[in-house]
Structure 1
Amino acid sequence: MTTTTATGAAIDPGRTALLLMDFQPAALGAVPDPESVLARASEALGWARSHGTHVVFVRVALTEADAAAVPTRNKAFARVAAAGHLTEGTPATAVHESLELREHDLTVRKIRFSAFAGDTDLRAELRARDVDTLVLAGLSTSGVVLTTLRQAADEDYRLFVLADATADPDPEVHQVLMEKVFPRQADIVVTADLAALSTAGEPATRG
């Protein structure tokens, strides 16, 4: 994977949020080599913990009311709602157990593809924490990552995408997005780049 980080790019960890999106059983089961992408997500989480970076866990789950409100014209979510694949409270909607949640982490339950979709409080929480940079990782590249990146770019966030902590059921789609689409609005990096991109200074570890 060719990365596209701009020369001199740096991350201020204290004003950055790592978004770990849809690392749930259903999404993991749909991508090739889920163990590898999950391992890279865990590494990114370790970087965030050690540098005082805000951590946001995003998951998709529908309550009975949410499912009933999905219109039949919604081609993707009408099928999901009807099948009950992402029902709130089921194992399918839980964040993978290897990604440990802590007290100061944000958790977002969404009802569509984007991390900002529905009545989430993500915008307000990011503003309250003075976050201006997002590091995105998730499943899938053409789903939550694409839609969240587009919306976050329109809201003027600086964006990084972790190419190795992101995957898609279709590897060709993943490659096209990473190499031809995402670089227009984000820097494409791998997890191993994060330490070098972090600005110098003593880390402020969050509990």
Structure 2
Amino acid sequence: MTSTVPHLDPTRTALLLMDFQPAVLAAVSDPEGALSQAHAALSWARSNDVQVVHVRVAFTPEDFAAIPTLNKAFAPVAENGYLSDGSPEAALHESFEVLERDISVRKTRISAFAGSTDVRGPLREQGVDTLVLAGLSTGGVVLTTLRQAADDDFRLYVLKDATSDPDPEVHRVLTEKVFPHQAHVIETAELPTLTKTA
């Protein structure tokens, strides 16, 4: 119920659009739906002067070399040179326009906070204490970023319909049973009704 969800102060809020890349979109159960809602969230952010953060996973040759063989998730990625920085599969989806004031983050692990660019510093400098999360996949970057951001004392909102997972049941369990313990789980259409106006 939106009546129990705190209002958003645009001056203290950032929208994180995470891993909307061709390779990741191809793996989830509802890529078009999540992509459409991510664009709706982006339109909301642009209209309310909310800081936008684009997050993507991509690796340089040095990054690949630094991945240990014991890393179950990323050792095969390194071995195959997958998601190489500059490759089509690692690019941000072509439908997103990145503006000069946007923050762009390239990461080398699952969390949006695990990368060569520290996103927390710039956000804290701007007084941002609230994050709105949209991304792929629900059980990957959204889960991992939510856990870390909660430990960093950010107020969190998850856009249920702007996330997706290869397994719809994983998406359901996380958004209905797990995320609500640390975040407000909402639909993208609720953003305007929750936005605090000056």
TM-score, length basis structure 2: 0.97
- 1:111 maps to which residue? 108
- 102-111 or 89-98: bigger deviation: 89-98
Amino acid at match of 1:20: L
User: 90-99 vs 38-47, which deviates more?
Assistant: 90-99
User: Do structure 1's residue 163 and structure 2's residue 154 form an aligned pair?
Assistant: no
Given candidates 84, 92, 97, the residue that maps to 2:94 is 97
Counterpart residue identity of residue 77, structure 1: F
The gaps in structure 1 that reach 5 residues or longer are 202-207
Which deviates more, 174-183 or 30-39? Answer: 30-39
TM-score (norm 1): 0.93
Runs of at least 5 residues in structure 2 that lack an aligned partner in the other structure: none
Q: How far 1:126 moved relative to its partner? A: 0.7
Preserved contact between residue 6 and residue 187 of structure 1 (Cα < 8 Å): no
Which of 21, 24, 28 in structure 1 is aligned with 2:21? 24
Structure 1 ranges of 4+ moved more than 4 A: none
Cα pair 2:2 2:194 within 8 Å, conserved: no
Match of 2:172 in 1: 175
Paired amino acid for 1:22 = D
Residues 109-148 of structure 1: pairs in structure 2 closer than 5 A: 109-148=106-145
- Residue pair 1:5, 1:188 contacting (<8 A) in 2 also: no
State the shift of 1:8 in Å. 5.0
- CA RMSD for the aligned pairs? 1.1
SS in 1 for 2:158: strand
Distance 1:53 1:27 in 2: 25
1:7-46, aligned counterparts within 5 Å? Answer: 7-46=4-43
Identical aligned residues as a percent: 63
Following TM superposition, by how much is the alpha carbon of 1:119 offset from its aligned partner in structure 2, in angstroms?
Answer: 3.3
Q: How many residue pairs were aligned?
A: 198
Residue 186 of structure 2 is matched in structure 1 by 189
Q: What is the alpha-carbon distance in structure 2 between the residues aligned to residue 122 and residue 72 of structure 1?
A: 27
